[in-house]
A and B are shown apart, each in its own frame.
Chain A
Amino acid sequence: MADAIMPDRVDSPIPAKAGIGLRAEHYREVTDSLPTVGWLEVHSENYFGDGGAPLEYLERAREHYPISLHGVGLSIGSCDPLNQRHLAKLKSLIQIYEPGLVSDHLSWSSVDGSYLNDLLPLPYTEEALRHFAERVQQAQDYLGREILIENPSSYLQYTHSTIPEWDFLDEVARISGCGILLDINNIHVSATNHGYDAQQYLRAIPANKVREMHLAGFTVNRYPEGEILIDTHNAPVADEVWALYNQAVKRLGNLPTLIEWDTDLPPLPVLLNEARRADEIMEKAHALVA
Protein backbone atom coordinates (compact mmCIF):
# COMPACT_ATOMS: atom_id res chain seq x y z
CA MET A 1 0.00 0.00 0.00
CA ALA A 2 2.86 2.33 0.87
CA ASP A 3 4.32 2.29 -2.61
CA ALA A 4 1.00 2.93 -4.33
CA ILE A 5 1.04 6.06 -6.44
CA MET A 6 -1.17 8.63 -4.77
CA PRO A 7 -3.95 9.60 -7.08
CA ASP A 8 -4.42 13.30 -7.74
CA ARG A 9 -5.64 14.83 -4.54
CA VAL A 10 -6.59 18.24 -3.37
CA ASP A 11 -4.08 19.77 -0.95
CA SER A 12 -4.09 18.87 2.73
CA PRO A 13 -4.60 22.16 4.63
CA ILE A 14 -8.07 22.64 6.07
CA PRO A 15 -9.49 25.99 4.89
CA ALA A 16 -11.06 28.50 7.29
CA LYS A 17 -14.52 27.33 6.24
CA ALA A 18 -17.23 25.02 7.44
CA GLY A 19 -16.82 21.28 7.09
CA ILE A 20 -19.03 18.30 7.84
CA GLY A 21 -18.42 14.91 9.41
CA LEU A 22 -18.26 12.07 6.91
CA ARG A 23 -20.30 9.19 8.29
CA ALA A 24 -21.02 5.74 6.84
CA GLU A 25 -24.66 6.60 6.05
CA HIS A 26 -23.46 9.33 3.68
CA TYR A 27 -20.40 7.62 2.14
CA ARG A 28 -21.98 6.95 -1.21
CA GLU A 29 -23.88 10.22 -1.56
CA VAL A 30 -20.87 12.36 -0.64
CA THR A 31 -18.42 10.55 -2.89
CA ASP A 32 -20.91 10.45 -5.79
CA SER A 33 -22.33 13.97 -5.59
CA LEU A 34 -19.23 15.78 -4.23
CA PRO A 35 -21.21 18.52 -2.48
CA THR A 36 -19.76 22.00 -2.09
CA VAL A 37 -18.29 22.04 1.39
CA GLY A 38 -14.85 23.15 2.59
CA TRP A 39 -13.59 19.92 4.10
CA LEU A 40 -14.53 16.67 5.81
CA GLU A 41 -13.76 15.24 9.22
CA VAL A 42 -13.79 11.55 10.14
CA HIS A 43 -13.37 9.63 13.38
CA SER A 44 -9.90 8.16 13.13
CA GLU A 45 -10.80 4.90 14.88
CA ASN A 46 -13.43 4.05 12.27
CA TYR A 47 -10.55 3.56 9.82
CA PHE A 48 -8.37 1.34 11.98
CA GLY A 49 -9.46 -1.78 10.05
CA ASP A 50 -7.17 -3.43 7.52
CA GLY A 51 -9.47 -2.93 4.54
CA GLY A 52 -13.00 -2.75 3.25
CA ALA A 53 -15.56 -0.09 2.46
CA PRO A 54 -14.60 2.53 5.09
CA LEU A 55 -11.04 2.86 3.78
CA GLU A 56 -12.16 2.76 0.15
CA TYR A 57 -14.63 5.59 0.69
CA LEU A 58 -12.11 7.59 2.69
CA GLU A 59 -9.65 7.37 -0.19
CA ARG A 60 -12.30 8.54 -2.64
CA ALA A 61 -13.33 11.39 -0.36
CA ARG A 62 -9.72 12.41 0.17
CA GLU A 63 -9.23 12.93 -3.57
CA HIS A 64 -11.76 15.77 -3.47
CA TYR A 65 -11.61 17.20 0.04
CA PRO A 66 -9.05 18.09 2.70
CA ILE A 67 -9.58 15.70 5.61
CA SER A 68 -9.29 16.12 9.35
CA LEU A 69 -8.71 13.05 11.56
CA HIS A 70 -10.60 13.38 14.83
CA GLY A 71 -9.86 10.79 17.49
CA VAL A 72 -12.08 9.68 20.35
CA GLY A 73 -9.97 6.84 21.72
CA LEU A 74 -6.34 7.78 22.36
CA SER A 75 -7.17 8.18 26.05
CA ILE A 76 -4.49 10.82 26.52
CA GLY A 77 -5.44 11.55 30.13
CA SER A 78 -5.17 7.91 31.23
CA CYS A 79 -2.43 6.76 33.62
CA ASP A 80 -1.80 3.69 31.42
CA PRO A 81 1.09 3.99 28.97
CA LEU A 82 -0.08 5.52 25.69
CA ASN A 83 -1.54 2.71 23.59
CA GLN A 84 1.18 1.94 21.05
CA ARG A 85 -1.11 -0.03 18.78
CA HIS A 86 -3.50 2.88 18.66
CA LEU A 87 -0.72 5.37 17.94
CA ALA A 88 0.76 3.15 15.23
CA LYS A 89 -2.63 2.84 13.50
CA LEU A 90 -3.12 6.59 13.69
CA LYS A 91 0.34 7.27 12.32
CA SER A 92 -0.27 4.95 9.41
CA LEU A 93 -3.57 6.73 8.63
CA ILE A 94 -1.73 10.06 8.74
CA GLN A 95 0.87 8.80 6.30
CA ILE A 96 -1.71 7.44 3.89
CA TYR A 97 -4.38 10.16 3.97
CA GLU A 98 -2.30 13.27 4.76
CA PRO A 99 -4.87 14.96 7.02
CA GLY A 100 -4.74 18.73 7.46
CA LEU A 101 -5.58 18.44 11.17
CA VAL A 102 -5.36 15.66 13.76
CA SER A 103 -7.18 15.93 17.08
CA ASP A 104 -8.34 14.17 20.25
CA HIS A 105 -9.82 15.19 23.59
CA LEU A 106 -9.00 16.65 26.98
CA SER A 107 -10.19 13.49 28.71
CA TRP A 108 -9.33 9.92 29.57
CA SER A 109 -11.14 6.68 28.72
CA SER A 110 -9.09 3.74 30.03
CA VAL A 111 -7.47 2.44 33.17
CA ASP A 112 -5.48 -0.76 33.78
CA GLY A 113 -5.90 -1.75 30.13
CA SER A 114 -9.68 -1.64 30.02
CA TYR A 115 -11.64 1.03 28.20
CA LEU A 116 -14.94 2.72 28.83
CA ASN A 117 -14.95 4.29 25.35
CA ASP A 118 -16.24 7.61 26.60
CA LEU A 119 -14.70 11.05 27.09
CA LEU A 120 -14.28 10.96 30.85
CA PRO A 121 -13.47 14.04 32.92
CA LEU A 122 -10.04 14.77 34.37
CA PRO A 123 -9.56 16.51 37.68
CA TYR A 124 -8.03 19.87 36.89
CA THR A 125 -5.04 19.64 39.22
CA GLU A 126 -1.32 20.33 38.85
CA GLU A 127 -0.69 16.58 38.75
CA ALA A 128 -3.17 16.03 35.93
CA LEU A 129 -1.86 19.05 34.04
CA ARG A 130 1.75 17.84 34.06
CA HIS A 131 0.61 14.33 33.15
CA PHE A 132 -1.66 15.40 30.32
CA ALA A 133 0.78 17.87 28.78
CA GLU A 134 3.56 15.29 28.85
CA ARG A 135 1.37 12.74 27.13
CA VAL A 136 0.39 15.21 24.42
CA GLN A 137 4.08 15.79 23.83
CA GLN A 138 4.70 12.04 23.61
CA ALA A 139 1.91 11.65 21.08
CA GLN A 140 3.12 14.59 19.01
CA ASP A 141 6.70 13.29 19.07
CA TYR A 142 5.57 9.87 17.91
CA LEU A 143 3.23 11.21 15.23
CA GLY A 144 5.74 13.83 14.15
CA ARG A 145 3.16 16.60 14.03
CA GLU A 146 0.98 18.96 16.02
CA ILE A 147 -2.26 17.61 17.40
CA LEU A 148 -5.27 19.59 18.59
CA ILE A 149 -6.88 19.03 21.97
CA GLU A 150 -10.63 19.52 22.29
CA ASN A 151 -12.49 20.73 25.38
CA PRO A 152 -15.04 18.02 26.32
CA SER A 153 -18.63 18.32 27.44
CA SER A 154 -18.68 17.55 31.13
CA TYR A 155 -21.29 16.43 33.59
CA LEU A 156 -19.38 16.57 36.86
CA GLN A 157 -16.65 18.53 38.58
CA TYR A 158 -14.23 17.12 41.14
CA THR A 159 -13.90 18.52 44.61
CA HIS A 160 -10.10 18.62 44.33
CA SER A 161 -9.93 20.45 40.97
CA THR A 162 -8.06 23.72 41.43
CA ILE A 163 -7.72 25.04 37.86
CA PRO A 164 -10.56 26.31 35.66
CA GLU A 165 -10.90 24.21 32.52
CA TRP A 166 -10.03 27.14 30.22
CA ASP A 167 -6.76 27.75 32.09
CA PHE A 168 -5.98 24.04 32.10
CA LEU A 169 -6.47 23.88 28.32
CA ASP A 170 -4.38 27.01 27.83
CA GLU A 171 -1.56 25.55 29.95
CA VAL A 172 -1.66 22.20 28.13
CA ALA A 173 -1.27 24.08 24.85
CA ARG A 174 1.54 26.24 26.23
CA ILE A 175 3.55 23.35 27.72
CA SER A 176 3.05 20.80 24.94
CA GLY A 177 2.86 23.10 21.95
CA CYS A 178 -0.42 21.52 20.83
CA GLY A 179 -3.25 23.45 19.22
CA ILE A 180 -6.77 23.81 20.57
CA LEU A 181 -9.95 22.50 19.03
CA LEU A 182 -12.62 24.66 20.60
CA ASP A 183 -15.99 22.94 20.74
CA ILE A 184 -18.53 25.72 21.11
CA ASN A 185 -21.36 23.35 21.90
CA ASN A 186 -19.26 21.72 24.63
CA ILE A 187 -18.62 25.11 26.21
CA HIS A 188 -22.36 25.75 26.25
CA VAL A 189 -23.18 22.29 27.61
CA SER A 190 -20.53 22.38 30.36
CA ALA A 191 -21.27 25.98 31.30
CA THR A 192 -24.98 25.18 31.65
CA ASN A 193 -24.38 21.96 33.58
CA HIS A 194 -21.98 23.58 36.04
CA GLY A 195 -23.47 27.02 36.15
CA TYR A 196 -20.45 28.94 34.92
CA ASP A 197 -20.18 31.69 32.33
CA ALA A 198 -19.61 30.59 28.76
CA GLN A 199 -18.43 34.12 27.87
CA GLN A 200 -15.72 33.96 30.47
CA TYR A 201 -14.56 30.63 29.03
CA LEU A 202 -14.44 32.07 25.55
CA ARG A 203 -12.56 35.19 26.64
CA ALA A 204 -9.90 33.12 28.42
CA ILE A 205 -9.02 30.93 25.44
CA PRO A 206 -5.75 32.04 23.77
CA ALA A 207 -6.75 33.09 20.27
CA ASN A 208 -3.42 32.14 18.73
CA LYS A 209 -3.78 28.49 19.77
CA VAL A 210 -7.22 27.71 18.35
CA ARG A 211 -7.01 25.91 14.99
CA GLU A 212 -10.54 24.53 14.67
CA MET A 213 -14.02 24.84 16.11
CA HIS A 214 -16.81 22.30 16.51
CA LEU A 215 -20.56 22.88 16.46
CA ALA A 216 -23.11 20.23 17.37
CA GLY A 217 -26.53 19.62 18.83
CA PHE A 218 -27.30 18.43 22.36
CA THR A 219 -30.10 16.67 24.21
CA VAL A 220 -31.83 17.92 27.35
CA ASN A 221 -32.34 15.40 30.17
CA ARG A 222 -35.01 16.60 32.58
CA TYR A 223 -34.97 15.70 36.26
CA PRO A 224 -37.11 16.93 39.14
CA GLU A 225 -34.18 19.15 40.23
CA GLY A 226 -33.58 20.63 36.78
CA GLU A 227 -32.07 19.96 33.37
CA ILE A 228 -28.76 18.45 32.33
CA LEU A 229 -27.54 18.99 28.77
CA ILE A 230 -26.01 15.93 27.12
CA ASP A 231 -23.65 16.26 24.18
CA THR A 232 -25.37 13.77 21.87
CA HIS A 233 -24.50 15.07 18.37
CA ASN A 234 -27.97 14.10 17.20
CA ALA A 235 -29.66 17.43 16.51
CA PRO A 236 -29.24 20.78 14.77
CA VAL A 237 -26.95 23.34 16.40
CA ALA A 238 -28.98 25.20 19.06
CA ASP A 239 -29.63 28.97 18.81
CA GLU A 240 -27.61 29.70 21.97
CA VAL A 241 -24.68 27.83 20.44
CA TRP A 242 -24.94 29.77 17.17
CA ALA A 243 -24.88 32.97 19.20
CA LEU A 244 -21.79 31.84 21.09
CA TYR A 245 -20.18 30.80 17.83
CA ASN A 246 -20.84 34.26 16.41
CA GLN A 247 -18.90 35.75 19.32
CA ALA A 248 -16.14 33.17 18.97
CA VAL A 249 -15.71 34.05 15.30
CA LYS A 250 -15.48 37.74 16.13
CA ARG A 251 -12.88 37.06 18.78
CA LEU A 252 -10.85 34.25 17.21
CA GLY A 253 -11.32 34.99 13.52
CA ASN A 254 -12.47 32.63 10.79
CA LEU A 255 -11.43 29.06 11.52
CA PRO A 256 -12.20 25.60 10.16
CA THR A 257 -15.59 24.85 11.72
CA LEU A 258 -17.11 21.40 11.84
CA ILE A 259 -20.78 20.53 11.93
CA GLU A 260 -20.70 17.38 14.07
CA TRP A 261 -23.71 15.10 13.75
CA ASP A 262 -23.19 11.44 14.62
CA THR A 263 -26.46 9.77 15.52
CA ASP A 264 -29.95 10.06 14.03
CA LEU A 265 -28.18 11.47 10.99
CA PRO A 266 -30.30 13.80 8.87
CA PRO A 267 -30.31 13.81 5.07
CA LEU A 268 -27.07 15.24 3.70
CA PRO A 269 -28.66 18.57 2.59
CA VAL A 270 -29.58 19.33 6.22
CA LEU A 271 -25.94 18.95 7.24
CA LEU A 272 -24.83 21.09 4.33
CA ASN A 273 -27.30 23.80 5.33
CA GLU A 274 -25.84 23.91 8.82
CA ALA A 275 -22.39 24.22 7.28
CA ARG A 276 -23.61 27.06 5.06
CA ARG A 277 -24.93 28.87 8.11
CA ALA A 278 -21.50 28.68 9.75
CA ASP A 279 -19.89 29.96 6.55
CA GLU A 280 -22.31 32.89 6.47
CA ILE A 281 -21.47 33.84 10.04
CA MET A 282 -17.77 33.83 9.17
CA GLU A 283 -18.34 35.85 6.00
CA LYS A 284 -20.45 38.41 7.79
CA ALA A 285 -18.09 38.78 10.74
CA HIS A 286 -15.10 39.44 8.54
CA ALA A 287 -16.65 41.06 5.50
CA LEU A 288 -14.53 44.18 5.97
CA VAL A 289 -11.31 42.22 6.25
CA ALA A 290 -12.12 40.24 3.15
Chain B
Amino acid sequence: MPSLLELQRQFSEGVLRSAGSKFMQHIRPGRFAPARHFQVYRNNVFESLTNALKAVYPVTERLVGDGFFRYAAASYIPLHRPESGNLHDFGEHFAGFLSGFPPARELVYLPDVARLEWAMHESFHAGVGQPLALTTLSSIPAEEYGNLRFRLQPSARLLASSYPILRIWQVNQPDHAGSPDVNLEEGGVKLLVIRRQEVEMRTLSDGDYSLLSAIDAGSTLAQAARAAMDAQADYDLTGALASQIQLGTLAQVENEKKITGNPVL
Protein backbone atom coordinates (compact mmCIF):
# COMPACT_ATOMS: atom_id res chain seq x y z
CA MET B 1 0.00 0.00 0.00
CA PRO B 2 1.55 3.31 -1.09
CA SER B 3 1.78 6.25 1.28
CA LEU B 4 -0.48 9.19 0.43
CA LEU B 5 2.52 11.15 -0.85
CA GLU B 6 3.78 8.28 -2.97
CA LEU B 7 0.31 7.77 -4.44
CA GLN B 8 -0.01 11.47 -5.31
CA ARG B 9 3.40 11.50 -6.99
CA GLN B 10 2.57 8.43 -9.07
CA PHE B 11 -0.84 9.86 -9.95
CA SER B 12 0.64 13.15 -11.10
CA GLU B 13 3.33 11.49 -13.20
CA GLY B 14 0.69 9.17 -14.59
CA VAL B 15 -1.45 12.07 -15.71
CA LEU B 16 1.36 14.15 -17.19
CA ARG B 17 3.66 11.48 -18.62
CA SER B 18 2.28 7.99 -18.57
CA ALA B 19 0.99 5.69 -15.91
CA GLY B 20 2.91 2.48 -15.38
CA SER B 21 1.34 -0.82 -14.42
CA LYS B 22 2.66 -0.30 -10.89
CA PHE B 23 0.32 2.60 -10.44
CA MET B 24 -2.60 0.85 -12.13
CA GLN B 25 -2.49 -1.77 -9.36
CA HIS B 26 -3.76 0.91 -6.99
CA ILE B 27 -6.96 1.38 -8.99
CA ARG B 28 -9.81 -0.97 -8.28
CA PRO B 29 -11.17 -2.61 -11.41
CA GLY B 30 -14.78 -1.50 -11.36
CA ARG B 31 -17.28 -1.10 -14.14
CA PHE B 32 -14.22 -0.52 -16.31
CA ALA B 33 -10.58 -1.53 -16.40
CA PRO B 34 -8.30 0.67 -14.23
CA ALA B 35 -6.78 2.40 -17.25
CA ARG B 36 -10.20 3.58 -18.42
CA HIS B 37 -11.01 5.02 -15.01
CA PHE B 38 -7.67 6.79 -14.83
CA GLN B 39 -7.96 8.10 -18.38
CA VAL B 40 -10.89 10.32 -17.30
CA TYR B 41 -8.53 12.30 -15.04
CA ARG B 42 -5.89 12.55 -17.74
CA ASN B 43 -8.49 13.92 -20.15
CA ASN B 44 -9.93 16.33 -17.59
CA VAL B 45 -6.54 17.75 -16.65
CA PHE B 46 -5.37 18.29 -20.23
CA GLU B 47 -8.75 19.64 -21.28
CA SER B 48 -8.98 22.20 -18.51
CA LEU B 49 -5.34 23.33 -18.78
CA THR B 50 -5.64 23.56 -22.57
CA ASN B 51 -8.80 25.62 -22.18
CA ALA B 52 -7.00 27.89 -19.71
CA LEU B 53 -4.31 28.50 -22.35
CA LYS B 54 -6.93 29.11 -25.03
CA ALA B 55 -8.58 31.70 -22.81
CA VAL B 56 -5.33 33.65 -22.50
CA TYR B 57 -4.08 33.08 -26.07
CA PRO B 58 -7.10 33.32 -28.42
CA VAL B 59 -5.18 35.01 -31.25
CA THR B 60 -2.31 32.56 -31.00
CA GLU B 61 -4.89 29.78 -31.25
CA ARG B 62 -6.55 31.39 -34.24
CA LEU B 63 -3.22 31.74 -36.02
CA VAL B 64 -2.33 28.05 -35.68
CA GLY B 65 -5.76 26.42 -35.49
CA ASP B 66 -7.33 24.23 -32.84
CA GLY B 67 -5.44 21.02 -33.65
CA PHE B 68 -2.00 22.61 -33.62
CA PHE B 69 -2.82 24.59 -30.50
CA ARG B 70 -3.87 21.45 -28.65
CA TYR B 71 -0.70 19.72 -29.76
CA ALA B 72 1.41 22.65 -28.54
CA ALA B 73 -0.53 22.78 -25.25
CA ALA B 74 -0.11 19.05 -24.68
CA SER B 75 3.65 19.48 -25.11
CA TYR B 76 3.76 22.59 -22.92
CA ILE B 77 1.75 21.29 -19.96
CA PRO B 78 4.15 18.60 -18.66
CA LEU B 79 7.13 20.92 -19.17
CA HIS B 80 5.66 23.95 -17.42
CA ARG B 81 3.27 22.59 -14.81
CA PRO B 82 1.01 25.03 -13.05
CA GLU B 83 2.53 26.30 -9.83
CA SER B 84 -0.60 27.54 -8.11
CA GLY B 85 -4.21 26.63 -7.55
CA ASN B 86 -5.23 29.68 -9.56
CA LEU B 87 -5.54 28.91 -13.27
CA HIS B 88 -5.00 32.59 -14.11
CA ASP B 89 -1.35 32.10 -13.16
CA PHE B 90 -0.93 29.35 -15.74
CA GLY B 91 0.65 29.92 -19.14
CA GLU B 92 3.32 32.49 -18.35
CA HIS B 93 6.04 30.62 -20.24
CA PHE B 94 4.00 29.78 -23.32
CA ALA B 95 5.61 32.43 -25.57
CA GLY B 96 9.10 31.28 -24.65
CA PHE B 97 8.04 27.68 -25.16
CA LEU B 98 6.68 28.48 -28.64
CA SER B 99 9.92 30.16 -29.68
CA GLY B 100 11.72 26.86 -29.10
CA PHE B 101 8.92 24.60 -30.41
CA PRO B 102 10.21 23.12 -33.68
CA PRO B 103 6.77 22.70 -35.36
CA ALA B 104 6.18 26.45 -34.96
CA ARG B 105 9.56 27.47 -36.33
CA GLU B 106 8.14 28.92 -39.57
CA LEU B 107 5.76 31.22 -37.67
CA VAL B 108 8.48 33.63 -36.62
CA TYR B 109 6.02 36.19 -35.22
CA LEU B 110 4.03 33.68 -33.13
CA PRO B 111 6.03 33.96 -29.86
CA ASP B 112 5.70 37.76 -29.91
CA VAL B 113 1.94 37.54 -30.47
CA ALA B 114 1.77 35.19 -27.48
CA ARG B 115 3.91 37.63 -25.47
CA LEU B 116 1.39 40.36 -26.27
CA GLU B 117 -1.52 38.19 -25.16
CA TRP B 118 0.18 37.33 -21.86
CA ALA B 119 0.84 41.05 -21.28
CA MET B 120 -2.86 41.75 -21.87
CA HIS B 121 -3.82 38.95 -19.49
CA GLU B 122 -1.58 40.33 -16.74
CA SER B 123 -2.83 43.83 -17.37
CA PHE B 124 -6.44 42.68 -17.05
CA HIS B 125 -5.87 41.36 -13.51
CA ALA B 126 -3.42 44.02 -12.30
CA GLY B 127 -4.08 46.45 -9.48
CA VAL B 128 -4.51 50.20 -9.84
CA GLY B 129 -1.93 52.74 -8.70
CA GLN B 130 -2.76 56.33 -7.92
CA PRO B 131 -2.01 58.16 -11.20
CA LEU B 132 0.79 60.67 -11.01
CA ALA B 133 -0.75 64.17 -11.23
CA LEU B 134 0.80 67.10 -13.02
CA THR B 135 0.27 69.14 -9.85
CA THR B 136 2.57 66.76 -7.98
CA LEU B 137 5.29 67.57 -10.46
CA SER B 138 4.72 71.29 -10.33
CA SER B 139 5.20 71.24 -6.56
CA ILE B 140 8.74 69.93 -6.98
CA PRO B 141 11.61 72.36 -7.67
CA ALA B 142 12.80 72.01 -11.26
CA GLU B 143 16.40 71.36 -10.24
CA GLU B 144 15.29 68.13 -8.56
CA TYR B 145 13.56 66.71 -11.64
CA GLY B 146 16.61 64.79 -12.79
CA ASN B 147 16.62 62.74 -9.61
CA LEU B 148 12.93 61.84 -9.68
CA ARG B 149 11.94 58.21 -9.94
CA PHE B 150 8.49 57.18 -11.04
CA ARG B 151 6.82 53.88 -11.60
CA LEU B 152 4.39 52.69 -14.24
CA GLN B 153 0.79 51.83 -13.55
CA PRO B 154 0.66 48.22 -12.29
CA SER B 155 -1.33 47.33 -15.42
CA ALA B 156 1.30 48.76 -17.80
CA ARG B 157 3.39 46.35 -19.89
CA LEU B 158 5.95 47.31 -22.56
CA LEU B 159 6.64 45.18 -25.60
CA ALA B 160 8.93 45.51 -28.60
CA SER B 161 8.69 43.20 -31.57
CA SER B 162 10.39 42.98 -34.96
CA TYR B 163 7.00 41.97 -36.40
CA PRO B 164 3.75 43.92 -36.85
CA ILE B 165 2.10 42.12 -33.93
CA LEU B 166 -0.46 44.83 -33.27
CA ARG B 167 -1.77 44.52 -36.84
CA ILE B 168 -1.71 40.74 -36.56
CA TRP B 169 -3.69 40.96 -33.34
CA GLN B 170 -6.21 43.38 -34.83
CA VAL B 171 -6.98 41.43 -37.99
CA ASN B 172 -7.49 38.30 -35.91
CA GLN B 173 -10.25 39.71 -33.75
CA PRO B 174 -13.59 37.93 -34.21
CA ASP B 175 -15.28 41.20 -35.22
CA HIS B 176 -12.62 42.21 -37.74
CA ALA B 177 -14.10 42.82 -41.16
CA GLY B 178 -11.84 42.82 -44.17
CA SER B 179 -8.70 41.04 -45.15
CA PRO B 180 -6.85 39.09 -42.48
CA ASP B 181 -3.59 39.49 -44.42
CA VAL B 182 -0.68 41.29 -42.82
CA ASN B 183 2.48 42.13 -44.67
CA LEU B 184 5.36 41.14 -42.42
CA GLU B 185 7.49 43.69 -44.30
CA GLU B 186 5.53 46.33 -42.43
CA GLY B 187 8.17 45.86 -39.78
CA GLY B 188 8.21 45.89 -36.04
CA VAL B 189 6.30 47.76 -33.42
CA LYS B 190 6.76 49.03 -29.87
CA LEU B 191 3.74 48.84 -27.63
CA LEU B 192 2.34 49.93 -24.33
CA VAL B 193 -0.38 47.66 -22.94
CA ILE B 194 -2.34 49.32 -20.18
CA ARG B 195 -5.76 49.02 -18.59
CA ARG B 196 -7.94 52.08 -18.35
CA GLN B 197 -11.64 51.18 -18.68
CA GLU B 198 -10.47 48.14 -20.58
CA VAL B 199 -7.11 46.76 -21.61
CA GLU B 200 -5.72 48.95 -24.42
CA MET B 201 -2.71 48.91 -26.68
CA ARG B 202 -0.85 52.00 -27.81
CA THR B 203 2.03 52.20 -30.22
CA LEU B 204 5.07 53.98 -28.84
CA SER B 205 7.82 55.94 -30.54
CA ASP B 206 11.37 54.67 -30.03
CA GLY B 207 11.94 57.49 -27.57
CA ASP B 208 8.76 56.81 -25.54
CA TYR B 209 9.56 53.13 -25.39
CA SER B 210 13.08 53.77 -24.09
CA LEU B 211 11.85 56.38 -21.62
CA LEU B 212 9.13 54.16 -20.16
CA SER B 213 11.37 51.09 -20.12
CA ALA B 214 14.00 52.99 -18.15
CA ILE B 215 11.40 54.33 -15.71
CA ASP B 216 10.00 50.83 -15.33
CA ALA B 217 13.51 49.55 -14.56
CA GLY B 218 13.83 52.11 -11.74
CA SER B 219 16.04 54.69 -13.46
CA THR B 220 15.96 58.36 -12.48
CA LEU B 221 14.24 60.74 -14.84
CA ALA B 222 17.67 62.02 -15.98
CA GLN B 223 18.79 58.50 -16.87
CA ALA B 224 15.49 57.73 -18.58
CA ALA B 225 15.68 60.95 -20.59
CA ARG B 226 19.18 60.09 -21.74
CA ALA B 227 17.99 56.66 -22.86
CA ALA B 228 15.12 58.26 -24.78
CA MET B 229 17.42 60.77 -26.50
CA ASP B 230 19.81 57.97 -27.44
CA ALA B 231 16.95 56.10 -29.06
CA GLN B 232 15.44 59.13 -30.78
CA ALA B 233 17.53 62.25 -31.36
CA ASP B 234 14.56 64.65 -31.78
CA TYR B 235 12.80 63.39 -28.64
CA ASP B 236 10.53 65.93 -26.96
CA LEU B 237 10.89 64.96 -23.32
CA THR B 238 8.59 67.59 -21.82
CA GLY B 239 5.79 66.92 -24.26
CA ALA B 240 6.16 63.16 -23.88
CA LEU B 241 6.10 63.28 -20.09
CA ALA B 242 3.05 65.52 -20.08
CA SER B 243 1.19 63.23 -22.45
CA GLN B 244 2.08 60.05 -20.52
CA ILE B 245 0.91 61.73 -17.31
CA GLN B 246 -2.27 62.76 -19.08
CA LEU B 247 -2.84 59.19 -20.20
CA GLY B 248 -2.26 57.91 -16.68
CA THR B 249 0.70 55.71 -17.61
CA LEU B 250 2.74 56.89 -14.65
CA ALA B 251 1.72 56.09 -11.12
CA GLN B 252 2.40 57.92 -7.92
CA VAL B 253 5.26 56.43 -5.98
CA GLU B 254 3.69 55.56 -2.64
CA ASN B 255 6.38 57.16 -0.56
CA GLU B 256 6.79 60.88 -1.29
CA LYS B 257 10.44 60.62 -0.25
CA LYS B 258 10.99 58.09 -2.96
CA ILE B 259 9.82 60.55 -5.60
CA THR B 260 11.98 63.41 -4.52
CA GLY B 261 14.72 61.63 -2.64
CA ASN B 262 18.22 61.20 -3.91
CA PRO B 263 19.18 57.85 -5.28
CA VAL B 264 19.68 55.44 -2.43
CA LEU B 265 23.34 54.46 -2.23
Contact = CB atoms under 8 A, between A and B. Distances in A.
Nearest to B25: A159
Interface in A105-145: 108-118, 120-123, 125, 127-128, 131
A52 B7 contact: no
Given A52-B125, A117-B52, A118-B41, A194 B88 contact: no
Contacts of A78: 8
Contacts of B5: 79, 111
Interface string B9-41: 101100110000000011110111110111011
A7 to B, nearest CB: 18
Given A50-B125, A155-B37, A86 B85 contact: yes
Contact of B86 (A45, A51, A114, A221): A45
Interface in A47-95: 48-54, 71-75, 78-79, 83, 85-86, 89
B8 A52 contact: no
A221 B41 CA distance: 13
Contact of A51 (B25, B37, B52, B127): B127
A50 B195 CA distance: 13
A274 to B, nearest CB: 23
A230 B9 CA distance: 24
A84 to B, nearest CB: 11
B44 A114 contact: no
Given A45-B85, A74-B85, A86-B85, A128 B41 contact: no
B8 A115 contact: no
A223 B28 CA distance: 18
A45 B88 CA distance: 8
A230 B44 CA distance: 9
A75 B179 CA distance: 47
Size class of the A contact interface (CB-based, 8 Å) = 35 or more
A110 B85 contact: yes
Given A78-B8, A155-B40, A156-B41, A223 B32 contact: yes
Contacts of B36: 223, 225, 228
Nearest to A230: B40
A269 interface: no
A68 to B, nearest CB: 18
A127 to B, nearest CB: 6
Nearest to A75: B85
Nearest to B128: A51
A117 B82 contact: yes
Interface in B202-246: none
A195 interface: yes
A73 B36 CA distance: 25
A228 B8 contact: no
B126 interface: yes
Given A111-B9, A117-B48, A131 B4 contact: yes
A267 interface: no
Most buried by B among A83, A123, A128, A221: A123
B87 A51 contact: no
Interface in A134-182: 155-161
B76 interface: no
A49 to B, nearest CB: 3
B28 A117 contact: no
Most buried by B among A71, A79, A116, A131: A116
Interface of B: 1-5, 7-9, 11-12, 15-16, 25-28, 30-34, 36-38, 40-41, 44-45, 48-49, 52, 81-88, 90, 124-128, 154-155, 195
Given A118-B44, A226-B32, 4 more contacts: A48-B86, A49-B88, A49-B125, A228-B40
10 contacts: A71-B85, A109-B85, A114-B81, A116-B82, A117-B45, A160-B1, A160-B2, A160-B26, A228-B31, A228-B36
